[in-house]
Amino acid sequence: MAAGGLWGTAAWSVRVVVAVPSRSPRQRSRLRTMQSTRIMVARPCLPSVSIKTSRTHTGARYDTMESAKLSLDGQDYELPVIEGSEGERGVDISRLRGESGAITLDPGYGNTGACESAICFINGEEGILRYRGYAIEQLAEHASFAEVCYLLIYGDLPSQQQLQDFSDGLTNHSMIHEDMKKFFEGYPASAHPMAVLSSMISSLATYYPEEEGNGDDDLNIIRILAKSKTMAAWAYKKSIGQPLVYPDNRLSYCGNFLNMMFSVPTEAYEVPKVVENALNVLLILHADHEQNCSTSTVRMVASSQANIFAALSAGVCALWGPLHGGANQKVLEMLEMIRQDGSDYKKYVDMAKDKDNDFRMMGFGHRVYKNFDPRATILRTACDEVLEEMGVDDPLLEIAKQLEDVALNDEYFVERKLYPNVDFYSGVLYRAMGIPTNMFTVMFALGRLPGWIAHLKELRDDPTTRINRPRQIYTGPTARDYTQVAQR
């Protein structure tokens, strides 16, 4: 037992044993006969806590009769065990505080399921990522970004007519209100595009207010997907002092964005097909990734019944952080640092291997994927195609290739599974496409919008939804009396 804080909070190491009866070969492949793990339960000034779990029946998501028994102060509490469609299991503690007065403590929520969701499945150990059951590899190879938006938001791939109607909506609603142009005039040229994007998305609520029963939910989904790419491109144009370029209804979603980013009124611009295809793949790969920081933020804000624009604006702000959406920008900053130091990449590889050195290679390994990141595998191919087709000659990209070769072949990196991840390849690819570093996180946000919207819609459609309100273990001072300032 360890004490912590001024209040004497106690924490115990608890052993959980799951006894599993005879199963079919398929079931045995998913679960061992005996499973054991360790968790931490926190509660002030309590004696021992133990949990024993036994499985008596296996079924579908809601058919399981398995329960967990938690013993606390001599009192037993039965906790339901939930099993997802892919065999993921969790102990439902939603009644724990009401029945026992205790809560669980899980800083960072790394072991906490905040919801049940049918949108995205990740198996980090096996390198699996699926949207609504479809493998990311198949979607990246065959689907358009519009198809994936529809799939995530509405649950199934669209028919030909549904896709046409949805794509037409994304095209016809891409213009923004002329009054909003004045907002861009008010931002300084140095304004970060993420700050501009977040503000502009939030301001859409003043033009398209949500009113209960007005039937505009689907229209607002179209509006935000269509207009966000325009606002993002205009934020870039503002930062470099070029005139704003209006959307062109003759172009695809990705082609339209690239045209607004790179065309100028003085000369013709044709969107390179290889770049357009690469952007389509990038947006698909970024579209959703389960309950990450920004998605959880969107769900939390939406749980208060805030409007869709406010919730998505909050998601943009969460994504802005360097530990989340800013990781691919950090990759390019690392490459630039190596270039300025004479391009001696081997020096930095040795620094990364030195356990006494604080330097860390950005863009290698992944918190979730312990084997390989399926998105990185896809992007590596796209990256090679763009570099070859565009004939890009860039010293940073040469350094990136050298680091990639080290990570894929050096024993140190291979043993530790420090393979190049999606942030590494997306940063390199955006650079090759001509997208500036400060726009990288904006590109991430454009791709992630349909995932955020899907989770917001799922939360709103769930009749059991309640406002999110986490608890805490207080560790501050106990009760004390106020003293006059002269006596302190």
Reduced to 3 states (helix: H, G, I; strand: E, B; else coil), residue 470 is coil
Contact assessment for residue 308 and residue 212, using Cβ atoms and an 8 Å cutoff? no
User: Among 382, 380, 426, which Cα is nearest to 404's?
Assistant: 380
Look up tokens 């997306």; give the residue.
Answer: 426
The pair of three-digit structure tokens given for residue 182, joined into one six-digit string:
């004045």
Other CB atoms closer than 10 Å to residue 47's CB: what's the count?
A: 12
Write out 31-85 in H/E/C secondary structure.
CCCEEEEEEEEEEECCCCEEEEEECCCCCCCCCCCCEEEEEECCEEEEEEEEECC
- CA 244 to chain CA centroid, nearest Å: 30
Residues contacting 41, CB < 8 A, separation 6+: 11, 12, 14, 49, 51, 102, 104, 105
Q: Whole-angstrom Cα distance, residue 475 to residue 54?
A: 35
The pair of three-digit structure tokens given for residue 90, joined into one six-digit string:
């969790």
Q: Whole-angstrom Cα distance, residue 404 to residue 97?
A: 49
Contact assessment for residue 189 and residue 201, using Cβ atoms and an 8 Å cutoff? no
Order of strands across the sheet that contains 134-135: 120-123, 128-131, 134-135
Q: Whole-angstrom Cα distance, residue 414 to residue 411?
A: 5
What is the DSSP code (8-state) at residue 157?
Answer: P
Cα R_g (the chain), whole angstroms = 25
Strand partners, 34: 19
Query: To 5 degrees, how large is the angle CA 47–CA 52–CA 56?
Result: 160
Which residues are identified as catalytic?
366, 423
Pairing of strands 89-91, 67-72: unpaired
Helices and strands in the chain: count of H runs, count of E runs: 19, 11
Query: To 5 degrees, how large is the angle CA 318–CA 319–CA 321?
Result: 80
User: DSSP per residue over 229-285, as a string?
Assistant: HHHHHHHHHHHHTPPP----TTS-HHHHHHHHHH-BTTB-----HHHHHHHHHHHHH
Strand partners, 129: 122
